[in-house]
Chains A and B, each alone.
Chain A
Amino acid sequence: MQDAQNLSRRTFLGGAVVLVCSSPLAGCGPQDPQELKIGPWVIPPKTTFAPERFAQLAALFDALIPADKPLPGATATRAAFYLDQLLGAFRVNPPRIFAGGPYSGRHGGADNFSSFQRLTRVEEIRWRTYLEGSLGIPEREFNGPVKGLTEIYEENLEALEAAAQAKRQRGFAFLPFDERHALVGAHDPEFVNLAYQHAVEGTYGDPVYGGNKDYLGWKGISYEGDRQPLGYSAQQMANPEEG
């Protein structure tokens, strides 16, 4: 809850105070010397979640999308970092919600994706409400109080941790796959589906959002990824079995 309270304080200051990072993504990748490991889980630097919580998140996503050759799974693609960066979207300005366009720069043209876009007034209300919760702020409570995504993850990861401690006397992040998988299967299906959606996005979405590291998600399913400005030729469309 510490993160939510900090975000709340910034919001009450009218959004005038924002933490601006030099990079759109808070972490700098596994080669960063500040990288931590908790159990088997790699914790990138400057995560939104505290390292222990991030490890629980990584353990959850791994249970949802495990490595299964040729699929790399959520751990190798760093899908947890995708969700972590969404939760901390407003730690940078513009927030990490909508990547730029039109090009990623991977196939020619400039790298426009990494220039995230400003939000409109109502988009900012929407995304702050979704991530931080309504926090009693009238403009966010036009249909009543809203629990933020950060709080939802905090509560559910805490519940998974409690279940792990109660049943196995170990932290959720330190359980073997089968035991984590069983606990997730017995958890609130609404949250599990929400987390699964985020794990999918972090595995197969564009890497600019923090997941799909080294395009492993795309490579694992033989998917070509974004195509602009090249697109597909008539030959490639007529012969889809060819690369």
Chain B
Amino acid sequence: MTVKGMKPIWYFVGLILLIMGGIIFLTGIYYLLNPSARFTVLSETHPNIWWGAIMILFGGILYIKNRKVTIS
């Protein structure tokens, strides 16, 4: 998309998913070690950990693939 030197949109999508996925994953690890006082249904499946990991994987692939790409 457009002028020389511009990062593609997929770079930004990868970056935000990587950051948010990382925070959610680490929160899941924290709650695994220190169980939360707030009960949610199916919390025993630790959705923060596996969903955060999926976000890291997806975001990471997009970020790495587009890290050095600029569009002319």
Task: Tell whether A pairs with B.
Answer: no
B residues with a Cβ closer than 8 A to A are: none
A positions within 8 Å CB-CB of B: none
